[in-house]
Amino acid sequence: MDTSYPREERPPPKRGPPPAAPAPRDHLVWAIFNTLYMNFCCLGFVALAFAVKARDRKVSGDVEAARHFSSKARCYNALATAGSVVLPLLLGALIVTGVIHLSKLAQESAGFFTYQFSGSDDEDQ
């Protein structure tokens, strides 16, 4: 076995500090939107409070607390948005089904009353 070919010596990789994790998002714009436009059960206001706390912690350098408050702000924002979108859709669906049911009931009632009052005169004889 011939091992006379030159080998490339690779230096070991340099180990430095680990890459910095990106700063957590504070979801402040989403919280302001939920607070102003779709404030379902004050969840938008709660989300705004946690978003402001997350931004304060991020500015002060406490990344773990900022990540914790950011997670809570995201959760409350999602709940406020879902509640504000789903509940009106559910209410609209209930109104539509109620109108359909009442129209069918009114048609059946009108048919019943026209049958009772417009009977033949054979019963009077």
Does pLDDT of 8 surpass 90? no
Rounded-to-integer distance, Cα 68 and Cα 48, Å = 14
Mean pLDDT in the chain?
83
The confidence score (pLDDT) of residue 60 equals 93
Q: Decide if 64 is inside a domain.
A: no
- Percentage of the chain with pLDDT > 70? 72
Q: Decide if 66 is inside a domain.
A: no
Q: Decide if 80 is inside a domain.
A: no
Q: Decide if 79 is inside a domain.
A: no
Q: Decide if 58 is inside a domain.
A: no
Q: Decide if 102 is inside a domain.
A: yes
Domains identified in the chain, total number: 1
pTM of the shown model: 0.62
Q: Decide if 103 is inside a domain.
A: yes
Residue range 93-104, pLDDT digits in tens: 999 999 999 999
Q: Decide if 22 is inside a domain.
A: no
Rounded-to-integer distance, Cα 6 and Cα 120, Å = 117
Q: Which domain does 116 fall in, by range?
A: 87-120
